[in-house]
């Protein structure tokens, strides 16, 4: 017996579910999950005060579950455009291994459980922030902005910037200037990161009808905006030193990495033709991942070392 | 064995594995709730007027 699911696709009502455990794990976007957990852990360690290790682990697990829920719900809603893009065509739903209904059910249950677990067992500030993150990613970015505006990942990027605030709130029960600064660093990092990807995957996004900036405004405007956001991001990423959130090691590392980031962003601005242009965009994209990882890694190590010493 | 029988066995194996993972996940959640309750109650919970 067949019927139409929420996205107009056939759902297998009455048939026993087929997918494997691995395919449900794929729905959760495990690489994104690990980055979310990592930045949340950094927020937890950077926060003043302490948290019982058991509660800390529970908080991280709940945050991971929430990130997984967001991934599954995004894959449910975007199954149609995922099928049209080379980068995403191998995902479980376009591949026919998981139905949209299964992904929706799985994501919804995970979302509710993760927020309840974090709220009940840790605190409701962290729980509310996790609920806001999941809701923002699904309703604001995935369902509303992604298909409608080239500013989709600018505003939608806020969802990826919340985890350190959630980690901070798990310890302190509140939001602070420091946690907002960590949010802002990821928020300002998101546009150059995703636009670098969109530059060399432009045809993929065009085919799928996603209004990424290179598709709507052209490559030149995208390069200009990547450069502008990079100019804001690099000094912002050094600011933790000025407010006591980070030490001198972080300051030096951030300055060096920032210089490399600006060099690569300038290459993207400067090289506009041929394979070299794609290569410059790809280099910036790859480095941007390392950049964010190293910034938060150094911040984490500094705070972990300080706790261990005192 | 016929191909259909192989497919059916494979499908049942996937279903069993999913059920096992769900059961384990629920068990882990129950344990975590229990541990978190112990932590929140504190160490001296038994020492109180009844």
Domain annotation covers residue A10: no
Whether residue A114 sits in one domain with residue A39: yes
A198: containing domain: 176-303
Handedness of CA A105, A111, A113, A116 (dihedral sign): negative
Whether residue A144 sits in one domain with residue A229: no
β-strand pairing of A10-11 with A3-4: antiparallel
Whether residue A273 sits in one domain with residue A159: no
Of A123, A145, A174, at which residue does a domain stop?
A: A174
Q: Are A252 and A301 in contact (CB under 8 A)?
A: no
Q: Do A18 and B17 touch (CB under 8 A)?
A: no
Whether residue A246 sits in one domain with residue A100: no
Q: How many domains does chain A have?
A: 2
Q: Do B11 and A16 touch (CB under 8 A)?
A: yes
Q: Are A186 and A164 in contact (CB under 8 A)?
A: yes
State the DSSP H helix or E strand holding residue A4, giving kind and residue range, or none if neither.
strand A3-4
Confidence of residue B50 (pLDDT cuts 50, 70, 90): confident
Of B11, B18, B36, Cβ closest to residue A121? B36
pLDDT tens for chain A, 310 residues: list them. 333 334 444 444 444 557 899 999 999 999 999 999 999 999 999 999 999 999 999 999 999 999 999 999 999 999 999 999 888 899 999 999 999 999 999 999 999 999 999 999 999 999 999 999 999 999 999 999 999 998 888 998 899 999 999 999 999 999 999 999 999 999 999 999 999 999 988 888 888 888 889 888 999 999 999 999 999 999 999 999 999 999 999 999 999 999 999 999 999 999 999 899 999 999 999 999 999 999 999 999 999 999 888 7
Kindly list the residues from chain A whose CB atom is less than 8 angstroms away from the CB atom of residue B39.
Answer: 52, 54-55
Whether residue A279 sits in one domain with residue A206: yes
Which residue from A minimizes the CA distance to B42? A52
* C-alpha span between A166 and A172 (Å, rounded): 10
Whether residue A25 sits in one domain with residue A164: yes
Whether residue A121 sits in one domain with residue A25: yes
Domain annotation covers residue A166: yes
Whether residue A251 sits in one domain with residue A208: yes
Of A20, A21, A54, Cβ closest to residue B39? A54
How much is the pTM?
A: 0.89
Whether residue A121 sits in one domain with residue A55: yes
Please give the C-alpha separations between residue B13 and each of A78, A92, B6, in angstroms, as whole numbers.
29, 19, 10
Whether residue A106 sits in one domain with residue A55: yes
* CATH number of the domain enclosing A98: 1.10.357.140
Of A156, A174, A192, at which residue does a domain stop?
A: A174
């Amino acid at each position: 017996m067949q019927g139409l699911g929420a996205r107009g696709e056939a759902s297998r009502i009455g048939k026993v579910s087929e997918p494997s455990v691995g395919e449900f794990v794929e729905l959760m976007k495990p690489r994104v999950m690990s980055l979310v957990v990592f930045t949340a852990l950094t927020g937890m360690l950077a926060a003043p005060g302490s948290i019982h290790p058991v509660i800390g682990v529970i908080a991280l697990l709940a945050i991971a579950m929430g990130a997984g829920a967001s991934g599954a719900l995004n894959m449910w809603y975007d199954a149609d455009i995922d099928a049209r893009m080379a980068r995403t065509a191998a995902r479980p739903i376009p591949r026919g291994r998981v139905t949209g209904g299964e992904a929706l059910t799985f994501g919804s249950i995970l979302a509710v459980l993760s927020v309840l677990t974090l709220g009940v067992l840790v605190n409701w500030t962290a729980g509310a922030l996790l609920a806001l993150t999941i809701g923002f990613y699904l309703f604001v970015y995935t369902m509303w902005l992604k298909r409608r505006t080239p500013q989709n990942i600018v505003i939608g990027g806020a969802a990826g910037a919340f985890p350190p605030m959630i980690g901070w709130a798990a310890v302190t029960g509140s939001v602070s200037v420091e946690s907002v600064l960590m949010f802002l660093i990821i928020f300002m990092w998101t546009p150059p990161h995703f636009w670098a990807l969109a530059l060399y995957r432009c045809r993929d996004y065009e085919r799928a009808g996603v209004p990424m900036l290179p598709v709507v405004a052209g490559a030149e405007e995208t390069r200009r905006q990547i450069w502008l956001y990079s100019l804001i991001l690099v000094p912002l990423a050094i600011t933790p030193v000025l407010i006591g959130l980070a030490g001198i090691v972080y300051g030096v590392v951030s300055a060096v990495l920032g210089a490399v980031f600006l060099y690569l962003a300038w290459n993207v601005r400067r090289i506009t033709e041929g394979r070299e242009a794609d290569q410059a965009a790809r280099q910036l994209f790859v480095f941007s991942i390392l950049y964010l990882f190293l910034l938060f890694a150094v911040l984490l190590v500094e705070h972990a070392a300080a706790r261990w010493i005192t | 064995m016929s191909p259909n029988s192989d497919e059916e066995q494979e499908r049942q194996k996937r279903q069993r594995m999913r059920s096992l993972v769900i059961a384990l996940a629920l068990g882990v959640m129950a344990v975590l709730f229990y541990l978190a309750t112990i932590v929140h109650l504190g160490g001296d919970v038994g020492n109180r007027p009844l």
